[in-house]
Amino acid sequence: MARVGLFDSAPLATALDGSVLAVAWFQPALEVPAGENADAAPRATPGKALAEDYEL
């Protein structure tokens, strides 16, 4: 099962409008990943290092 997560948050740099990160992964189960039962690989993604700020 392929999964995609899109995360939007406050900007990393204060001069911009927001920050976004898209993560894609494969998992064997059909359940929606949530909380501590979620796959460790997507949870371990270094969001601040990979996210990009955007300007509206």
Question: For the segment 5-42, what is each residue's pLDDT rounded down to a tens digit?
Answer: 899 999 988 789 999 999 998 888 787 777 777 777 77
Q: Is 42 helix (H, G, I), strand (E, B) or coil?
A: helix
Read off the tokens for 51.
């996210």
Q: What is the pLDDT of residue 11?
A: 93
Q: What is the pLDDT of residue 20?
A: 95
DSSP alpha helix (H) spans, 1-56: 40-43, 47-50
Q: What is the pLDDT of residue 2?
A: 86
Q: What is the pLDDT of residue 3?
A: 85
Stated pTM of the model = 0.72
